[in-house]
Amino acid sequence: MSQSVEKQSGKTRIQREKREQILQAALEVFAAHGFRGSTLDQIADAAKMSKPNLLYYYSRKEDIHQTLIARLMDTWLAPLKTLNANGEPVEEICAYINRKLEMARDFPRESRLFANEILQGAPHIIEMIEGELKTLVDEKAKVIEGWMDEGQLNSCDPRHLLFAIWATTQHYADFDVQVRAVLGTDKGDESRFEDAKEFLENLFCKGLKVR
C-alpha cells in the first residue's frame, strides 16, 4: 500500500525528498545562527542547491522555519505524551528523563532551534505553547499529583519538576559547547551522556522515591 502511495506521487516523492533536504540544511543553519542570523545562501549551500531553486520549494525563508518549528513541536511533545498514568511512578519519570536525554543527544539541533525560538519570545509558537503544551502539561501534572497524593512519590510542584527535567536534559544539547569545555576533551560523547544519565536518575529519582 505504501508502495502504491509512492507510485502515485511520482513527482511528489522527489519533491518530498528535496524538501527534506532543505529542511535538514535549514535545521543545521537555524540551530547554529538563529532565524535572523541565518541566510538563504547558507541554507542553499548546505542543501546543495541554488537559492532560486530552494525558493521554488519554500517560497519564503519564514516558511522553512515554520515548517521546522511545526514538525519540531510534535517531536518535542511526544516523550511527555507517553508518560503513562498507569505505570510505576518512579520508573515512568526515569524513563521520561532518559527519553529527553536521548533526544538531547540525538537531536541537538532541534533542541537548539527550540531554545532559540523561546529565547526570542517564542514568536512563532507561542500559541502552541499556551495551547497544546499547556494542556498536556496540565494533564500530566495531574497524573503526577495523583501519584503524590497516593504516596507513591514524594510531593513537590509537578510543573517545576517538569521544568527541571526539561532544563537539565536540554542543557546537554543547548549548552553543549560549555559542557564540553568544562568536562575537557578527554571525555567522549558516549561517556558524557552516560554520566549525565546516571547523575540525573540519581538526582530526580532518589529524591522522588518515597522511603
Partner DNA sequence: CATGAATGAGCATTCATTCAT
Partner DNA sequence: TATGAATGAATGCTCATTCAT
In whole angstroms, how close is the CB of 15 to DNA at the nearest point? 4
Q: Quick one: which of 13, 120, 139, 189 contacts a second copy (CB under 8 A)? A: 120
5 binds a second copy (CB under 8 A): no
Please answer whether residues 159 and 137 qualify as being in contact, where contact means their C-beta atoms are separated by less than 8 angstroms.
yes
Q: Kindly tell me which of 20 and 139 has the beta carbon lying closer to a second copy.
A: 139
Output the nine-digit C-alpha cell for 130: 499556551
Q: Quick one: which of 60, 119, 188, 210 contacts a second copy (CB under 8 A)? A: 119
Please answer whether residues 45 and 21 qualify as being in contact, where contact means their C-beta atoms are separated by less than 8 angstroms.
no
Q: Kindly tell me which of 17 and 88 has the beta carbon lying closer to DNA.
A: 17
Range 24-28 contact pairs with CB under 8 angstroms and sequence separation of 24 or more = 26/64, 26/65, 26/68, 27/68, 27/109, 27/110, 27/113, 28/109
In whole angstroms, how close is the CB of 172 to DNA at the nearest point? 29
25 binds DNA (CB under 7 A): no
124 binds DNA (CB under 7 A): no
27-46 footprint of DNA as x/- string (CB under 7 A):
-----------xxxx-----
Range 10-14 contact pairs with CB under 8 angstroms and sequence separation of 24 or more = none
